[in-house]
A and B are shown apart, each in its own frame.
Chain A
Amino acid sequence: MTDTSTPSPPRGAAEQGPAKRRLADRVFLGLSKGAALAIVAILAGVAIFLTAEGIPGITASPDEVKSGETFLAFVLPLVFGTLWSATLALVIALPLAVAVALFVTYYVPRRLGHTLGYVIDLLAAVPSVVFGLWGMRVLAGKLVGPYEWLEAHLGFLPFFAGPASATGRTILTAGIVLAVMIMPIITAIAREVFRQTPVLLEEAALALGATRWEMIRTVVLPHGRSGMIGGAMLGLGRALGETMAVAMVLSASGVVTFNLISSTNPSTIPANIALQFNEASGLTVNALIASGLVLFVITFAVNFAARAIVNRRKEFSGANA
């Protein structure tokens, strides 16, 4: 209501008028608002596409699709394989990534730490096809021996029941390849949050007579907890959605088994889509898209779960320190 150019009324009301909106502020506001809306719009678009195209696949009768099964029977083994391989990858990658991040941040001279950090970041830039080739050509062959050893010595565990794969292209190999792929992102995020640990708190621990490891345990890890979870979830998201590497490494037969080293392995949703899509037609395409919808829902659920974990002990999180 108050235009700054009009003569000011008594009692200094002009100063109380709305602040002048500068052009740069307005442009920036528009840009950031537009970007935020675009993300929501794209996400909604993807969800609508997956739902609209997927529903015919979900409702299709078994004899109309290539798999010859109901949608549920078709998708459940894939869901299992997806979650199982991603879990394996995370179980392998997370401790390694945290250890590497701690090492780089606290145990090597600063300059060497930076260099190592760059090298790890470079690992994240390697295309997944390359990892797939490496996993298929190099790693799988090298793992045949260890798998046979595991079958012979730990065969009583269901994970290593065997018979050990002769090619080494098992779900465990896929999990290891995925772990190598997601380790850089988890390491990078863990390194970042560890570096932001307040010096004040590090000194508090050291002044109490903490060794470096005790300082890390009492201060750095709790402080970095939400960051580590966030990094792990980003890694998990990548592992869940990874297509090429899994498709190339894994010799899949669509079973549901916890056996890590046998030649019959569960497939994953994205790898299955990639392998089947070219030859698919009719309602089979819709069924594949519907499996994509399931993956979409899973990654959403993983993200929400991560947020819930991060928020659960918010008042102890250090955010209010």
Chain B
Amino acid sequence: MSMRSVLRDSVPTTAARTTSATAADGPASRRPAIGIDVEDLDIYYGDVHAVRGITLAIQAQSVTSIIGPSGCGKSTFLRSLNRMHEVAPGARVEGTVRVDGRDLYAPGVDPVLVRREIGMVFQRPNPFPTMSIKDNVLAGVRLNGTRLKKDEADTIAERSLRGANLWDEVKDRLNRPGAGLSGGQQQRLCIARAIAVEPQVLLMDEPCSALDPISTSAIEDLIGQLKDEYTIVIVTHNMQQAARVSDETAFFNLAGVGEPGQLIESGPTTKIFSNPDNPSTEAYITGRFG
């Protein structure tokens, strides 16, 4: 199922257009990854205005990193891209987030279906402790209610684990608990789980902050490979990491003490890191604050 079908019910007029567009793409084996257009997005938790006025175009099939000091709304913004922030009570947004031209927040859009299209990897590896490695990978696929045949399940598990560069390390112990892996392996297992459902977009919330440098480097290599197929947005506190893995960078900062977070500037990573327009971006990147 693609984003098209997710949003078809709510936006019937554009659905027809997309169908023809898909047909025009021809039988290309690679799915066209999808960019994200954020327009004037405000995020609130109850009375707290967390993020203000974000307008940002996220390129398809590239890595966009979001950097900024703690508490500036990076994670909140990332979570609003697949409506995960709604897990918190009282969360709401104003503005639009368009994925493949359709608004995630249009009335009638089911957040559950949005999340099936836009995967997420968290700060700390969170494989399901009661499941084996293989069942972890297949967890999302099975949520769709489809009963997998054994060979089908095996194919998806192998493809996803290979995609996450984990296959060789775990192929002999697929039925062992996922929690028995090292932290870095667990995180790649979580990535395998996220890509098993073939999402369009992969959101990563500081995916390496709980990992050692070697595991971090493995994940970064993986991100480089995954961007051929997915649109990736990564929040990171590690500026070297942002510089290494991302094509585009967005710098967030607080407007002031007690003020909401906002986007200061965004652009190609090379430009943001060498010649930023805004002095506060330069101050942050050179380590003068944050």
Interface-lining segment among B42-50, B116-124, B236-244, B249-257: B116-124
Q: Which of A201, A202, A208, A313 sits near B143, CB closer than 8 Å?
A: A208
A208 and B130 contacting across the interface, CB-CB below 8 Å: no
Whether A201 contacts B128 in the complex (CB less than 8 A), given A110-B89, A209-B140, comes out as yes
Q: Which of A13-21, A93-101, A218-226, A245-253 contacts B (4 or more CB under 8 A)?
A: A218-226
| Distance from A314 Cβ to chain B, minimum over Cβ atoms (Å) | 10
Q: Which of B168-225 contact A (CB under 8 A)?
A: 177, 179-180, 190, 193-194, 197
* B84 CB-CB contact with A under 8 Å: yes
Tell me the minimal C-beta distance from B174 to chain A in angstroms. Answer: 14
Pair A320/B143 contact, Cβ less than 8 Å: no
Contact, CB under 8 Å: B179 / A321: yes
CA distance A201 to B177 in the complex (A): 15
Decide if B98 is an interface residue (CB 8 Å cutoff): no
Is the beta-carbon distance between A209 and B130 smaller than 8 angstroms? Answer: no
Question: Which listed residue, B87, B124, B177, B193, touches A208 by the CB 8 Å rule?
Answer: B193
> Judging by beta carbons under 8 Å apart, are B115 and A204 in contact?
no
The answer to whether A206 touches B143, judged by C-beta atoms less than 8 angstroms apart, is no
* Complex Cα–Cα for A93 and B102 (A): 47
C-alpha spacing A204/B112, complex, angstroms: 13
Cα of A92 to Cα of B204 in the assembled complex, Å: 45
Q: Decide: A222 and B128 in contact? CB cutoff 8 A.
A: yes
Q: Is the beta-carbon distance between B197 and A204 smaller than 8 angstroms?
A: no
Q: Which of A204, A214, A315 contacts B122 (CB 8 A)?
A: A204
CB B84 to nearest CB in A, in angstroms, measures 6
Give the residues in chain A near B113, CB-CB below 8 Å.
209
B280 at the interface (CB under 8 A from A): no
A206 in contact with B179 (CB, 8 Å): no
Asked whether B115 lies within 8 Å of A206 as measured between CB atoms, the reply is yes
Cβ of B132: which chain A residues have Cβ within 8 Å of it? 316
Q: Provide the residues of chain A in CB contact with B179, threshold 8 Å.
A: 315, 318, 320-321
B131 CB within 8 Å of chain A? yes
Query: Of B126, B131, B143, which contacts A200 at CB under 8 A?
Result: B126
Q: How far is the CA of A110 from the CA of B88 in the complex (A)?
A: 12
Nearest opposing residue in chain B for A208, CB measure = B140
User: Which of A207, A218, A315, A321 has most B Cβ within 10 Å?
Assistant: A207
CB <8 Å contact, A204 and B89: no
> Which residues, 131 to 189 on B, are CB-close (under 8 Å) to A?
131-132, 139-140, 143-144, 177, 179-180
CA gap between A274 and B70 in the complex, in Å: 67
In the complex, what residues of B have CB within 8 A of residue A316's CB? 129-132, 177
Give Cα distance in the complex from A211 to B130, angstroms: 19
> Which of B130, B140, B143, B180 gathers most chain A CB within 10 Å?
B130
Q: Which residues of A contact B (CB under 8 A)?
A: 110, 198, 200-211, 214, 218-219, 222-223, 225, 313, 315-321
Q: Which 10 A-B pairs have the closest CB atoms?
A: A209-B116, A222-B130, A318-B129, A208-B140, A321-B129, A207-B120, A209-B115, A204-B126, A200-B126, A321-B179
User: Which positions in B face A, CB cutoff 8 Å?
Assistant: 82, 84, 87, 89, 112-117, 119-120, 122, 124, 126-132, 139-140, 143-144, 177, 179-180, 190, 193-194, 197
Sample of 9 more A-B contacts, CB < 8 Å, known A208-B194, A315-B177, A319-B129? A203-B122, A204-B122, A207-B82, A208-B140, A209-B113, A218-B139, A318-B130, A320-B177, A321-B129
